[in-house]
Homo-oligomer: A and B are copies of this chain.
Amino acid sequence: MKNTIFVLREDSPKYKQIYEQFKYFIERGDILPNDQLPSIRQLADSLQVSRNTTLMAYEQLVAEGYIRGEGRKGYFVNKIEIVLFQDTFIQPHKNHTETVAPVKINFRAGAVDQTNFPLKIWRRLANQVLTLQESFQYGEPFGEVYLREQIAAYLFQSRGVKTDPNAIIIGSSTQQMLIHLGKVLKDDNAGIIIEDPGYDGAREAFRFHHFTFETLPVYETGADFSKLEYFRARLIYVTPSHQSPMGVSMSIQERLKIINWAKSRQGFIIEDDYDSEFRYTQQPFPALASIDSTRVIYLGNFSKSFLPGIRLSYMVLPQLLLNQYKNQFFHFENTTSLLSQLTMAKFMEEGEWIRHIKRMRLVYKRKIQCLVSELKKHFKQNISIIGEQSGLYVLVKVHLNRSEKWLIERASIYGVKVYPTSIYFIKNHSTEAIIKLGFSNLTSDEIQEGVKLLKEAWV
């Protein structure tokens, strides 16, 4: 097997990416029949992923017949017909003489800062919850009222959203809630308008219910709202506070425009407020649901601001949908851990949640300022930075006439992992490559070193 370069994104399961890239290598003939693949341990070490991840990729390849396991000897490539296939995956670097470098700095956006996690407090509350009688029973189908009351108070205080705990539904993740919500919305809606570029995970949840798509183009300056009146659908999924991935926030004029649009069409807006806590230059903008909640379905989560692995999200349903939704899901058990729900409710009630958000806002503000100033210092007018006011990542538009693929692969040779944005785009592709840099779990030193290495790699 020749040396090949892997490029792992944060936005898709890693084992799938490894599997897809091997498929690509094998189909292209870059790896030949009977070539031995690296061992699970070798590959895991060189890609800095877990051995479980590489094992899963290999097993998928075995299942599909691309490779075979020969016991302790390892994995070998099977003979297959070489076929021309659509080039939808990231291609490996053509120059096979370069080797895979270990990842020194990983600009991933899917992890949270570990050093500032309120470990002791969380442990204390989780341990308390384990002694409660209600922890040994089934929970409420739409989530514990105790947590819903805390969320209602928080939403009013921090997002201006007035809601009854009764209108809040607790779920595991944005995607899981969109699958449930989609079931109800599909009755009256064949299609949905989504942002382009936009969050690919939401797209997949709508695809689950076979919604047809119309797209709202989004640019660095904001979305093209002049399109609104021409859409056929009367259902729209948007990220108003911090557009995913372009980072822009809707102005109040835009907010009113989209609310009036939904009201005049008797449609609904799905407002995904996924990381609104982290706005560094001003106070977070008010949510659409705070302006007029009759036609807004508000989604929030604890994945960005607390822990992604806790799997805790929520939505606020407008009165018009509440009964329909509850009738549909009365008979379904909640998918979220009762223990996590009760622990989070206590955490919020004791004021720890607000304290945590405030602390993390400062921590992340320092990090983003460091990242932005380093980028400006090293790259000057060779790049534009998008979305430096909020969130847990910035986008970098690179004016060097290089492709996204080239930039990612060059960075990986220098031991820096950066992420693509092309997966978010549907039709509205950017003419220049845009790279995504997360910073939440990097120190200032790591950020400085990472940017320095990127400079060496790219310019």
The reply to whether B117 and A136 contact each other, CB–CB distance below 8 Å, is yes
Interface centre among A15, A122, A319 (most CB of B within 10 A): A15
- Interface flag for A85 (CB, 8 Å): no
A444 to chain B, nearest CB (A): 19
- Interface flag for A190 (CB, 8 Å): no
- Interface flag for A34 (CB, 8 Å): no
The reply to whether A441 and B136 contact each other, CB–CB distance below 8 Å, is yes
Given A310-B339, A337-B310, A52 contacting B140 (CB threshold 8 A) = yes
The reply to whether A172 and B335 contact each other, CB–CB distance below 8 Å, is yes
Interface centre among A52, A205, A333 (most CB of B within 10 A): A333
Question: In A316-365, which residues have CB < 8 Å from any B CB?
Answer: 319, 322-323, 326, 330-340
- Interface flag for A84 (CB, 8 Å): no
Size of the chain A interface, CB-CB below 8 angstroms: 73
A375 to chain B, nearest CB (A): 24
The reply to whether A140 and B13 contact each other, CB–CB distance below 8 Å, is yes
Given A208-B183, A311-B335, A333-B173, A326 contacting B60 (CB threshold 8 A) = yes
Q: Interface digits, A1-32 against B, CB 8 Å rule (1 contact, 0 not)?
A: 00000000000110110000000000000000
The reply to whether A135 and B309 contact each other, CB–CB distance below 8 Å, is yes
A337 to chain B, nearest CB (A): 5
A331 vs B441: C-alpha distance in the bound complex, in angstroms? 23
In order of increasing CB-CB distance, the 3 nearest A-B pairs are A309-B338, A52-B145, A172-B335
Closest to A171 in B: B335
Closest to A110 in B: B138
The reply to whether B307 and A336 contact each other, CB–CB distance below 8 Å, is no
**Copies of this chain per assembly:** 2
Q: List, in ascending order, chain B residues with CB within 8 A of A50's CB.
A: 134, 145
The reply to whether B310 and A338 contact each other, CB–CB distance below 8 Å, is yes
Name A's interface SS.
helix
A122 vs B111: C-alpha distance in the bound complex, in angstroms? 25
Closest to A326 in B: B60
A123 to chain B, nearest CB (A): 6
Contact of A111 among B111, B137, B205, B333 (CB under 8 A): B137
Q: Interface digits, A170-185 against B, CB 8 Å rule (1 contact, 0 not)?
A: 0011011001000100
Given A15-B140, A140-B53, A164 contacting B331 (CB threshold 8 A) = no
Q: Could you give 28 example pairs across A and B, Cβ below 8 Å? A: A12-B331, A13-B140, A50-B145, A52-B144, A52-B145, A52-B146, A59-B164, A59-B166, A111-B136, A114-B133, A119-B130, A136-B307, A137-B308, A138-B303, A139-B308, A176-B335, A179-B179, A200-B331, A204-B332, A307-B339, A308-B338, A309-B338, A310-B337, A310-B339, A311-B334, A311-B337, A335-B335, A339-B340
A129 to chain B, nearest CB (A): 9
Interface centre among A145, A200, A309 (most CB of B within 10 A): A309
- Interface flag for A64 (CB, 8 Å): yes
Q: List, in ascending order, chain B residues with CB within 8 A of A307's CB.
A: 135-136, 339
- Interface flag for A56 (CB, 8 Å): yes
Q: List, in ascending order, chain B residues with CB within 8 A of A56's CB.
A: 140, 145, 166
